Chain A
């Protein structure tokens, strides 16, 4: 790899032990993947934030960097934490868990990181431009940034993203290079997609076929950013899809598709079968929306469904602190609260210890959540669109 004089001097330890190891990490990753050089990044999003995921070793690691004065050089956001950082007590999160989680957030904050903990940073103030190089971690955010915005990022591990934040660069390989962004399989969509869960079902099914490839979708007539978010999130969970193209809708779709691709058809039958696969239970004892974190449009929709209604079981909508505050200001939080629901900020069901909080059957509208909840949180899953889930929970 060609390094600049400045990068060489960091690697030689002239800027201290913390930066030396961070640079060694990025150089080695670059060599493993045949990068030619480092490139500057416009922003970073760091995974490995929940205490449930990183445990004491991760906490020690972060406190070590923070205590040695490590500071980030670019706009850096975090992935969701393991709990709501304000309302954790009221929501029933365990105290010993909370104490560790608070220390993790403090360490990140000391490094100069914007501790907005969200899997949808692009809705909360970290919005890259078309073709901007970034270093993001969270698989659904990586997918959205690459596919819907047309920014360029590999799927970074927590430590490599943090290294990019501390150094302001990332090795130039993979999806940073134009030639690696071409579609590898084609999916013809021959069924109507009406709800967020329909897009999640398509994503789950497509991820199984695409694995770590780049799907090109034909036949999706329209989709808003929320729906594309659900599509990408499910593909990144059931497969390892970091980039997809949708004919007519995403910015690189026309330039990155060639002929002769292996082709699959997603019709009524495939949609129905996917719903059957993802539904592993019935009669939810909680429903959790906001995987990935809800937009203000989704929150407004739920508030409208709940107006004048009463929930018999808990309903959580997970979102970023920024969207929660907007919902507070616009009166949505209160409407949802009056019906017995909650807006939960900073966390999500996949990284929070819901199985320890007594829940066994969770209703979701997200293909990603439906993919992960059985394994990560030992939940039976009820996979439906938002309207049907809300109906099931009403008194």
Chain B
């Protein structure tokens, strides 16, 4: 699948997929990587070391710092794949140095799939 590079890097890992947008501020615990937003499809799941796949970001702009905090605390996802990366997530992944690609049809990815994110070339493929 060909998309657009938001933040560079190339990694392989297991996908964790959310059908709903993610608001990182108040949505994911920066210390543990656990999704804490009440009623969110991923509530209670952990994003550490996974390829985090979701349609787009939402909520407070402070979310950018939460993404940075996840990386700093060693609990960040390996990469992020979006349908459309908005500014909060773009800001977070660039500052944190997390590979990120958008303009990907994420319906083709299921939780547990092994995928390769080649952000340098804007590509996301099954391993």
A and B from one assembly? yes
In the complex, whether A131 has a CB less than 8 A from a CB of chain B is: no
Give the complex CA separation of A61 and B90 in angstroms. Answer: 16
Question: Is residue A25 within 8 Å, beta carbon to beta carbon, of the partner chain?
Answer: yes
B88 touches A57 (CB 8 A): no
Interface 0/1 of B65-102, CB less than 8 Å to A: 11011101100000000000111101100110100000
CB interface residues, B 45-71, toward A, < 8 Å = 61-62, 64-66, 68-70
**Contact: B90 with A29, CB < 8 Å?**
yes
Contact at B66–A21, with CB atoms within 8 Å?
Answer: no
Q: How far is the CA of A58 from the CA of B87 in the complex (A)?
A: 17
B16 proximal to A (CB < 8 A): no
**Cβ A157 vs Cβ B88 within 8 A:** yes
Nearest residue (CB) in B for A27 is: B94
CA distance A56 to B66 in the complex (A): 9
Give B60 Cβ to nearest chain A Cβ, in Å.
8
Contacts of B85 in A (CB 8 A): 32
Interface residues on B, range: 20 to 34
CB pair A56–B90 under 8 Å, yes or no, is no
* Residue from B6, B68, B91, B94 within 8 A of A60 (CB atoms): B68
Pick from B30, B69, B73, B87: contact of A29, CB below 8 A: B87
Q: Is A89 located at the chain interface by the 8 A CB criterion?
A: no
Say whether A58 contacts B62, CB under 8 Å. yes
Contact of A57 with B91 in the complex, beta carbons under 8 Å = no
Identify B69's interface contact among A24, A32, A48, A55, CB under 8 A. A55
Chain B residues whose C-beta falls within 8 Å of the C-beta of A159 in the assembled complex: 64-65, 91, 95
Which B residues touch A48, using CB under 8 A?
61-62, 65
Contacts of A28 in B (CB 8 A): 6-7, 90, 94
Most chain B CB atoms below 10 A, which of A48, A54, A57, A58 = A57
Contact present for A61 and B61 (CB under 8 Å): no
Cα-based distance from A158 to B30 in the complex (angstroms): 18
Asked whether any CB of chain B lies closer than 8 Å to the CB of A238, the reply is no
Contact partners of A24 in chain B: CB under 8 A:
7, 94
* Chain A residue at smallest Cβ distance from B24: A57
**In the complex, what's the smallest C-beta–C-beta distance from A17 to chain B, in angstroms?**
9
Residues of A within 8 Å of B91, CB to CB, are 25, 29, 157, 159-160
A55 touches B30 (CB 8 A): yes
Q: B93's closest neighbor in chain A, by CB?
A: A28
Q: Specify which chain A residues have a CB less than 8 angstroms from the CB of B95 in the assembled complex.
A: 21, 25, 61, 159
Which residues of chain A from 277 to 306 have a CB within 8 Å of any chain B CB? none
Chain A hits for B87, CB < 8 A = 29, 32, 157, 160
A 148-180 to B, binary, CB cutoff 8 A, 1 in contact else 0: 000000000111100000000000000000000
- A209 to B: closest C-beta gap in Å: 23
A54 nearest in chain B by CB position = B65
* Chain A residues within an 8 Å CB radius of B88: 157
B30 to chain A, nearest CB (A): 5
Chain B proximity of A25: nearest CB distance (Å): 5
Would you call A57 and B97 a contact (CB within 8 A)? no
Q: Given A25-B94, A157-B87, is A56 in contact with B69 using a C-beta cutoff of 8 Å?
A: yes
Interface string of B88-122 (1 = CB under 8 A from A): 10110011010000000000000000000000000
* Cα separation A53 to B97 with both chains bound (whole Å): 22
CA distance A32 to B62 in the complex (A): 19
User: Residues 54-82 of chain A: 1 if any B CB is under 8 Å from the residue's CB, otherwise 0?
Assistant: 11111011000000000000000000000
Shortest distance between the CB of A162 and any CB in chain B (Å): 10
Mask, A12-30, CB within 8 Å of B = 1, is 0000000001001100110
Note all chain A residues with C-beta closer than 8 A to B65: 48, 54-55, 57-58, 61, 158-159
CB-CB nearest in chain A for B8: A24
Q: A172 CA to B72 CA in the complex, in Å?
A: 31
Residues of A within 8 A of B94 (CB): 21, 24-25, 28
Across the interface, name the chain B residue whose C-beta is closest to A59.
B65
Complex formed: what's the CA distance from A208 to B73 in Å?
39
Nearest CB on A from B102, distance (A): 9
A55: which B residues are within 8 A, CB to CB? 30, 62, 65, 69
Give bound CA distance, A53 to B88, whole Å. Answer: 15
Q: For the complex, give the distance between the alpha carbons of A159 and B64 in Å.
A: 8
* Chain A residues within an 8 Å CB radius of B97: 21
A53 B62 Cβ-Cβ under 8 A: yes
A157–B64 touching, CB < 8 Å: yes
In the complex, which residues of chain B have a beta carbon less than 8 angstroms from the beta carbon of A29? 87, 90-91
Residues of A within 8 A of B (CB): 21, 24-25, 28-29, 32, 47-48, 53-58, 60-61, 157-160
- In the A-B complex, the 6 residue pairs with the closest CB atoms: A57-B69, A157-B61, A58-B65, A57-B65, A25-B94, A159-B91
